[in-house]
């Protein structure tokens, strides 16, 4: 027997779930031990509403991680990684990812269950990142001997540091330009 498909939510139910997830991000980022009741209060919904949508706290956290990972995947897609020129795609993706990661810090920092949808999405994002880097390598933007998986890891670290160390309040486009410039040129003198 196959699994039954979950019917799509009505618009008002979808808004309610979105409000709960946004509130969960805020509340749990501030206090990872916060209760579902605290999340419900922050979302402006009844406690019964949150319990009707999420069987327990773990289900809420899993939904939060999946929602954030889906938004991150959409941010990558919106950068047109397969069709835009590699440098343009890298900049767009980076600016988009900075916005999503800045808004969903708690959810995207959760340790992932290898069996979860969030984990699968993160793995797909990593694969797509290497694909864009390979396109940049083919275009001569990256040395042909470069380890692209290592570059992906450095790229992720640059994004993380940009989010944590943005003391001058630079916008995502400015940060993206800095990240891409550092990734492709390092800190050495310009030729």
What pLDDT was estimated at residue 3?
45
Counting as low any pLDDT under 50, the low residues of the chain are 1-4
Q: Is 1 exposed, middle or buried (0-12, 13-18, 19+ CB in 10 A)?
A: exposed
pTM beyond 0.75: the answer is yes
Which one, of 46, 48, 57, 186, lies nearest residue 110 by Cα? 57
What pLDDT was estimated at residue 5?
52
CB-side exposure of 177: number of CA atoms within 13 Å?
A: 4
- C-alpha angle with apex 152: 120 to 170, nearest 5 degrees? 105
CA distance 54 to 31: 19
User: Could you tell me the end-to-end alpha-carbon distance of the chain, in angstroms, rounded to an integer?
Assistant: 64
What pLDDT was estimated at residue 6?
52
CA distance 88 to 85: 5
Q: List, for residues 145-168, the tens digit of each pLDDT value.
A: 999 999 999 999 999 999 888 778
What pLDDT was estimated at residue 184?
94
């Amino acid at each position: 027997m196959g699994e039954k498909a979950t019917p799509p939510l009505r618009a008002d139910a979808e808004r309610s779930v979105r409000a709960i997830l946004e509130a969960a991000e805020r509340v749990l980022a501030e206090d990872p031990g916060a209760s579902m009741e605290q999340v419900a209060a922050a979302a402006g919904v009844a406690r019964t509403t949150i319990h009707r949508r999420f069987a327990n706290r773990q289900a809420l956290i899993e939904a939060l991680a999946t929602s954030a990972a889906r938004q991150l995947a959409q941010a990558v897609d919106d950068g047109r990684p397969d069709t835009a020129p590699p440098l343009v795609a890298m900049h767009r993706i980076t600016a988009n990812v900075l916005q999503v990661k800045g808004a969903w810090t708690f959810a995207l920092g959760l340790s992932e269950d290898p069996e979860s949808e969030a984990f699968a999405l993160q793995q797909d994002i990593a694969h797509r990142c290497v694909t864009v880097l390979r396109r940049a390598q083919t275009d001569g933007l990256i040395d042909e001997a470069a380890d692209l998986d290592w570059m992906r890891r450095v790229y992720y670290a640059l994004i993380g540091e940009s989010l944590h160390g943005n003391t001058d309040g630079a916008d995502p486009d400015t940060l993206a330009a800095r990240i891409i410039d550092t990734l492709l040129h390092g800190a050495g003198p310009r030729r």
